[in-house]
Amino acid sequence: MSAEACQPSSGCLKLGDVFDNRFCLKRVLAHSAVGTVFACLDIKTQKPVALKVGHTKLAAACAQNEAKMLIHAFGHDVKRTPRLITCKQEASHSYVVQKLLGKSIYSKFKSSEGINHATLRESVKLVLGMSLCLRDVHNAGIVHRNIKPGNFSFGRQSTQLYLIDFGIARLFMADDGSVIPPRRNPGFRGSVQYASINAHLNQELSPRDDYWSMVFSVLELLNGSLPWSGVNDKQAVMKMKEALIRGDSLPAIYPPYIDQIMKYLATVKYGELVCHCRIKMILKEATRTPEFQAEAHDTCAFSDIDMSCCPTPAAVDTTSSFLSAMSLSNGYSTSFSGR
């Protein structure tokens, strides 16, 4: 292990170095053309953290935006985002240090043969957990704009979900609570596989679009793929999504609760908050279906969850206990780690 700290200006960070005289690099979690993520030990607190190093101007811009969004979320007491510890920006590199989380949803279900199918029971739990994350972030006035299975992570020692990777997130609500007017033709934002129809139409995105991406994510987890998986043309993907929404071309596994959520989302207008209570009630009905009851029961039943429309902090904790029934193994992921 290097005893000298590698300063940000050097761009030479490697395992064993100490970044910013505080964070000792232990191992590489993920690497891509735009950035590298390290698992580090915070020498000051003796706790594990994640260091995201961006190598391009785009990565630097995303890192700066992510830090801004995480600070905003912290200021609004959002609990389901990774805690930002520090960030540094330079001409050639960006550095973001945040709380180290566990496996992403994508990593949990990924295998050498693709994506393992989630059970109906697992999917209901995941939707509940993802909706809780979205509710809290949206209440703070943030729209994520890149919702996908790889951007939800579990805690390292719990199964509470966290929403990560705020690199292209944006405020849709002003400080006074008013909705920021949409821009004209702001351009495409998100991942083609999971983007909403509004994203395909280059329209300004708001909470409803994050939920549409959540629906497509869950359908992929249920089926192992989406009808447009492997299709590269954005226009063709949009047409296939429209056919799914109309009910003309459905995936093999398409539980009724998904259809109910989509019909509700179709009524939500730009800038409006999606009602988490409505989502919870749809999920509650899903647990009463024969298909749900036929699956093996988990150690924590859905009926134990407070399904009221105005959850208290205690109710949120109960929901976290509900997610723990998934018996998930510990691992690591951060914003650069995959899909």
Model pTM score: 0.84
| Confidence at residue 337, expressed as pLDDT on a 0 to 100 scale | 39
d(CA 318, CA 324): 10
Report whether pLDDT(28) > 90.
yes
Q: How far is CA 11 from CA 54, 67, 102, in A?
A: 10, 20, 27
pLDDT digits (tens, 9 = 90+) for 105-151: 999 888 656 667 899 999 999 999 999 999 999 999 999 999 999 99
Domains and CATH numbers, the chain: 5-99 (3.30.200.20), 105-326 (1.10.510.10)
d(CA 236, CA 232): 8
List the one residue out of 15, 57, 67, 22 whose CA is nearest residue 37. Answer: 15
DSSP 104: B
Tell me the pairing of strands 23-31 and 35-42.
antiparallel
- The mean pLDDT value for 217-243 works out to 96
Contact 234, 201 (CB under 8 A): no
**Residues contacting 294, CB < 8 A, separation 6+:** none
d(CA 110, CA 105): 9
Q: Which residues pair with 338 in a beta bridge?
A: none
For residue 280, the SS3 value is helix
pLDDT digits (tens, 9 = 90+) for 240-292: 999 999 999 999 999 999 999 999 999 999 999 999 999 999 999 999 998 88
pLDDT band, residue 173 (cuts 50/70/90): very high
**Residues contacting 10, CB < 8 A, separation 6+:** none
d(CA 160, CA 46): 23
Share of the chain above pLDDT 90, in %: 70
pLDDT band, residue 296 (cuts 50/70/90): low
Which secondary structure element, helix H or strand E, spans residue 45, and what is its range? Answer: none
Token digits for 8?
Answer: 């940000």
